[in-house]
Every structure is written in structure tokens, then in C-alpha cells.
Amino acid sequence: MPTLFRFLFFCAVVAGMIYGTMVALVTFVEPVERDVTVRIPSERVNKPQ
């Protein structure tokens, strides 16, 4: 039984670290906005009849 508690404690610590990393990313990282241009070939827009 102590091994199970140790395993669950380890899982909780890892989950807490992941959660903390996610909170830090949301708090400190600002996304950069930029324009996106996607070129579509004319064959896909004007299909031959």
C-alpha cells in the first residue's frame, strides 16, 4: 500500500507541475498577431467545365 501512495503522490506532483507550467504560459506569454495569406490555385476556384 505505501507504494500506491507514493505513486499517487508522484502523479499529483507531475500533474501540478504541468498545471503550473500552463498557468505560467498563459500569464507571461503574449501572442503576436500577424497577417496570414493563403494562396489558392486557380484550378481549385475555377473548375473547368
Q: What is the pLDDT of residues 1-49, one digit of tens each?
A: 789 999 999 999 999 999 999 999 999 999 899 999 998 887 777 776 6
Three-class SS of residue 25? helix
Please report, for the chain, the start and end positions of each structural domain, with discontinuous segments joined by +.
1-27
CA angle 44, 47, 49 (to 5 degrees): 170
Helix (H) or strand (E) holding 21: helix 2-28
Neighbours of 38 (CB within 10 A): 4
What predicted TM-score, i.e. pTM, was given to this entire model?
A: 0.59
| Whole-number pLDDT of residue 43 | 76
